[in-house]
Amino acid sequence: MANVLRHLPELEGMELGYIQGLMKNMDEDQASLFAQVYRARRKDAQMILILTLLGFFGFAGLHRFTLGQVGLGILYILTLGLCFIGTIVDLVNYKSLAYEYNVKMAHETLSMLSLHFPNGGSNA
C-alpha cells in the first residue's frame, strides 16, 4: 500500500524497485518508520563514486571500507587500488557496489523492525 516515492523520494533505478517491493505490504506508519531507519543506513551511490575517485590520488579503497569490506579496503590501500586496475573496475561498478550494500541494509532494517515491533513486521 505504502508508496515508496512518498517516503524515500531520493531512491532511483533498481533500488527504487526493490524497496517498493519490500514496502508493498506495509501501512503508512510502518513505511515511514522503515524509511527513516533505512535512510540512516543506506549509502548513496554518488558518495561511493567520489570515494572511488580518491583512489587516483593515493587514497584507494576508501569506498571498500565504507561498504564494510575491510579486507578488500586494506588490500586496495596497500596496492594503490591493485595498481589502479581495481579502482577503475570499481569506477565502472560503483552502482552495483552501492546497490548490493543497500539491499543488505534494507534487510537488516526489516529484521530489526520486526524484532522490536513484532506486530509491525509486514513480511513476517
Partner 1 sequence: MKEIRHWLTRIPLELIFWIASIIAILTINPDAGHHFSLCPLDSLGFDWCPGCGLGRSMNLLARGDFQASWSMHPLAMLAFGVIFHRIWTLIKNLKTTHYYG
Which H, E and C letters describe 49-65, residue by residue?
Answer: HHHHHHHHHCCCCHHHH
Chosen residue from 36, 96, 111, 123 binding partner 1 by CB under 8 A: 96
Q: Rounded CA gap, 36 and 122, in Å?
A: 16
Task: Return the ∠ at Cα 67 (arms to 109 and 74), rounded to 5°.
Answer: 145
Residue whose CB is less far from partner 1, 26 or 90? 90
Binding to partner 1 by residue 71, rule CB under 8 A? yes
Residue 66 contacts partner 1 per CB under 8 A: no
Give the three-state DSSP class for 118. coil
Instruction: Single out the residue of 84, 112, 114, 120 in contact with partner 1 (rule: CB under 8 A).
Output: 84
Site residues (vs partner 1, CB under 8 A): 13-14, 69, 71-72, 74-75, 78-80, 82-86, 89-90, 92-93, 95-97, 99-100, 103
